Structure 1
Amino acid sequence: MSSSPAQSLRVLPSRFILEHLPEARMPSDDSWVALVRAPEGLTVVRATDASDPPGLWAGLYGGETAHGLDIPGMLAALIGPLAGADVPVFVASTFHADLVLVPLDRRADAVAALRDAGHTVTE
């Protein structure tokens, strides 16, 4: 377990999809949750009502234990246990916390790994 403080996360009720827009233009609607512009295009994280198409992600958010930007290791404390459990992740960081996305079909594995590492996860 990391020496960073244990965090409290909640599993979000929404499901998420990830998109890559090579043109790096703003999406035409406002259904996005996070946008990241990079030289190769725009990455879009969207919430979706879909329940089972391939490529769905579950979201875990640590907003209940918001932390300052000067506290090292907060993201590593979450990603490390997930990597150890072979759970892929996609992260969108906010000013106060991190939105950690895991493949929907690996959600239970992710929750177990985070709990085993000392974090609190509310489903």
Structure 2
Amino acid sequence: MSLTLTVLPGEYAVAQLPGGRAVPAWATRGDLWCVLGAPDELSVVCPAGQVPGDVRAQLGWRALMLTGPFEFTLTGILASVLNPLRDAGVGIFALSTFNTDYVLVAATDLDRSVAALREAGHTVRE
């Protein structure tokens, strides 16, 4: 399966807050953000520059958007992207929306990620 992905501009962060906490305003700004609440934590993905210095976070992620939308009945969409990245030794953080998927890779792994995806037959727009 050949897909088209777009490298989004800017760097992102994956932050962790205590469970049960209200969603902070800084977490919901920008073109791409995600907040997921679980009993023991609140995870936030947002532009790196928005995360306060006193929040536990891993900075330096780049986002690749899969061009969708994809029907829920389709299988293997995310695997067709994740498997080449796995084979290239690239760690990921994946997000899904109703229409599409996003894959975050470390900024230091972006060039290697793009090369691996292109080698697997995908189109990557930078």
Q: Which residue of 2 aligns with 1:110?
A: 113
1:56 to 46, 57, 60: 60
**Aligned mates of 1:61, 1:115 — CA distance in 2:** 14
Q: How many residues align?
A: 115
Amino acid at match of 1:47: P
What CA deviation, in whole Å up to 9, does each residue of 1:27-81 have, x standing for no partner?
321327001122321110011348xxx731000001x332111101101111100
Q: 8 Å contact 2:48–2:59 — kept in the other structure?
A: no
Contact 1:14 1:49 (C-alpha < 8 Å) held by counterparts = no
1:105 is displaced (CA, Å) by: 0.6
Unaligned ranges ≥5, structure 2:
51-57
1:21-60 residue pairs with structure 2 within 5 A? 21-29=17-25, 30-31=28-29, 33-49=33-49, 55-60=59-64
* 8 Å Cα contact 1:19/1:44 also seen in 2: yes
* Alignment partners' CA distance in 1, 2:3 and 2:20: 34
CA RMSD of aligned residues (A): 1.7
SS of residue paired to 2:113 = helix
For normalisation by structure 2, the TM-score amounts to 0.83
Contact 1:7–1:65 (CA under 8 A) maintained in structure 2? no
In 1, Cα distance between equivalents of 2:34 and 2:18: 16
Larger CA deviation: 91-100 vs 34-43 = 34-43
Pick closer, same or farther for the CA change 1:92–1:26 going to 2, 3 Å: farther
Match of 2:70 among 67, 70, 75: 67
Amino acid at match of 2:63: G
Using structure 1 for the length normalisation, give the TM-score. 0.85
Q: Identity percentage over the alignment?
A: 35
Instruction: Note the residue ranges of structure 1 that are not aligned, 5 or more in a row.
Output: none
- Counterpart position of 1:10: 6
**Structure 1 24/31 Cα, relative in aligned 2: closer, same or farther at 3 Å?**
farther
